Amino acid sequence: MATIKDVATIAGVSPSTVSRVIAGSPRISEPTKEKVRQAMAQVNYVPNAIARSLAQANTRTVGFALSRRADHAFSNPFFSEVLRGMSAVAQLQGYNILLSISIDENEEKEKCLQLIRERRVDGLIISTSRIRDELISTLVQEEAPFVVIGRSMEHPVPAVNNDNVHAAAQATLHLLDQGYRDIAFIGGPNDMVVTLDRLQGYKQALKQRQLAVETERIASVGFSEESGFQALCHMRAHGITFDAILASDDLFALGALRFAHHAGLSIPADLGIVGFNDTPMMAYAHPPLTSVRILSYELGVEAMQLLLDGLADPEHWQHKKEVVLPSHLEVRASTARLKE
């Protein structure tokens, strides 16, 4: 007896695409539907009523994928705020959120595809995008409903993002305007699009002021306060000088604050620090830390609304809408070396 996998192999599509054709999904193109129908006829495949009803059922559940260690996932308040925004929209529209936490991108891909293929969720919100992102490429290939928080470098997909290049450039220019010249950049893993975008903004600002980009002042580390601290200790131990830090995440900024105390440096006289996300702790640090305010809650709201709009009306998916939210530099004592 022929199976869905047999039909998928002959048609040259995924089993989930065959299921969607059986369910009558409007998100599948007519040429693809015709290929699947011909393959079904070739092997005399007849979907039973139970399988058809399961394929058509809605779970009223959305998956939210986080690719980082469980003990780190919510140590960063950014994700808590994103989830809070998502929850506000989901609750109003009668949806649940299934949280999927993975240790790395391979596990994330495996878990997310399982959720989609087993119909455990109606759609996904992906919290991280990478260069040559295999998860995004596969979801596009399988025509699965999903939204990216960030942006995809390879595919036009529905996304909610910040203008990270512009925000990082403005933060770097602020440090330069305050008299700092040897600015170090602490970023996350260098395969993440958000890291590359913020690094690009940092480089643009230096070039705008005719300053050289010194690669030894650029560090790529894991997302933790400890990683930020250790990166700066490593620079100092190797004789790399710097008088300011652009931290691409507030956790790194807190690591820089710890480093300053450890090294006996005065903030902002000896060391300026700028973070990213402007989580609540930044205003209460000693001294209060300058940070780029990202609308984390609104990112969650917009991502969930974009996904649910697409689930309600598949025509929305054809527009590949990208929402870009504004950001704002909150200047505090950690960079107030000169009067503005």
What's the CATH number for 61-161+296-326?
3.40.50.2300
Domains 61-161+296-326 and 164-294+328-335 share a fold: yes
Greatest pairwise CA separation for the chain in angstroms: 79
Name the percent of the chain lying above pLDDT 90. Answer: 59
Confidence of residue 71 (pLDDT cuts 50, 70, 90): low
Q: Look at 8-17, 175-184, 221-230 and tell me which has the smallest mean pLDDT.
A: 8-17
Tens digits of per-residue pLDDT, 206-246?
999 999 999 999 999 988 899 999 999 999 999 999 999 99
| pLDDT surpassing 90 at residue 338 | no
Angstrom CA distances, 154 to 86, 151, 213, stand at 25, 9, 27
Classified by CATH at the fold level, domain 4-56 comes out as: 434 Repressor (Amino-terminal Domain) (1.10.260)
Q: pLDDT value at position 7? A: 86
C-alpha 304/C-alpha 323 separation (Å) is 12
Give the closest residue to 334 by CA, choosing from 239, 223, 259.
259
CATH of 164-294+328-335, one of 3.90.1170.50, 3.40.50.2300, 3.40.50.920, 3.40.1160.10: 3.40.50.2300
Q: pLDDT value at position 50? A: 47
Which tokens go with 116? 């989609």
Phi and psi at residue 67, to the nearest 5°: -105, 85
